[in-house]
A and B are shown apart, each in its own frame.
Chain A
Amino acid sequence: MSTVSPNLSSRTPLSERLDLIVSPIFAVILGLIGTAVWLYSDIDSITEDILAPEKLQRQLGETLVLGFSSSILVILVAIPLGIVVTRKGFPRLKNFLVDTLGLAQALPAYGLIVIFFSFMGAGITTVIFALATFSLLPVLRNTIVGLEQVDKSVIDAGRGMGYTSRQILMKIELPLSVEVIIAGIRTAIVINVGMSALAFLVGGGGLGETINSGLKLDRGPAILIGAVMVAILALVFDFLSALAQKYLKPKGL
């Protein structure tokens, strides 16, 4: 959830570079802590059972499926929605959305997943829809903010060159706001991968199961190793999205 409100002015070259350095360092430190715990703490048969490789592999797969599907769903819904509400004719809807999105951050993901569960029953689809709903906000918000911050005179220039509205959108507005939109998608991906750790609550699997078993059976090492894996996974996805953010932005900017 790294960007709550996009802050463009502060993205200096140094901060972009640190962006790509600090999270790998954290991931490595966490990895070392996890390894140290695995090697040097009391690992009994119950802990070994919780951390059985085939279980972890399955949970990792589930986490990836949850993270990917919900992120794709969010992108397919939020970006078109953001484009529509920033067109002329919807100023009220747009202002309403921008106002409520701030408060909606206080919506607990935990409650949302459980509410979706009460309607849709157990399983992976439930979690995908709940995660997508939760991470809709940053993408929608950044799409609106990104399109709004495009200099109006550039749009006028496009119109003067005889561009149609569609051409203005595709050739001017979207390329100029792609960095902000990707920042929102990055936030959504990190949220989705992270919150899929809660999927175990409603029978959706995922790495949260390891943490949960550790909590239930009171096995500290299992809790810690589970948490470390969840955290590293989120850091890896944040890093990959930061790379995408760096290389996908138009050359002219």
Chain B
Amino acid sequence: MIEVRNLTKRYGDTTAVDDLSFTVQPGLVTGFLGPNGAGKSTTMRMIVGLDRPTRGEALVGGRRYDRLDQPLRHVGVLLDPGAVHHGRKALDHLRWLAASNGISQQRVVELLEQVGLGGVRNKRIRALSLGMKQRLGVAAALLGDPQILMFDEPVNGLDPEGVRWIRDLMRGLAEEGRTVFVSSHLMSEMALTADEVVIVARGQLVKQTPMEALTENGSLEDAYLELTSGRGL
């Protein structure tokens, strides 16, 4: 479970996240929606301790992320697939991540095969396509077999086969009882993937609701635009 309580982040006079509270339940795929600049990425970064909240707190499995001894065993994170050393081989990238959390090197090899990167594991990351980098990021998130997973725009750069793969992966992870929290701008994709949605605008919670309740009178896109109308940047 992910619990966000009164989370606030200010940069000088600008409030990126404003007293945001919501809970992400296990066993569901929870979509995180909002216009550009709504504070989605900032919220995700605060959940994993990358950015310090001005106020409030975010807990994963009841604890702060930065207090977890081997965090990758509890939480899998894909925030920016480009945040890697591009001169390192794909295999070595996962090897150091595994070493940092006491995860076996065998798991690395298995995962590379699982995400379809077994054939390019000895290629340097700069030589991988955007979709391959995205798959490498997913592999990094899955490395510690965590119960909680967070993906920021995971289908960016993926071809239709890759989009189907990540959708099935997230659905499968949720069906195993894991907590899956995913942000995306692709409403059609969210409608197919998410069981619940958290919608934010200007750093504030607009609505948290089951997907069925949101789409019973139309498409997710229509409902989303109606809820966020006039709340963009």
Question: Are A and B physically bound partners?
Answer: no
A contact residues vs B (CB 8 Å cutoff) = none
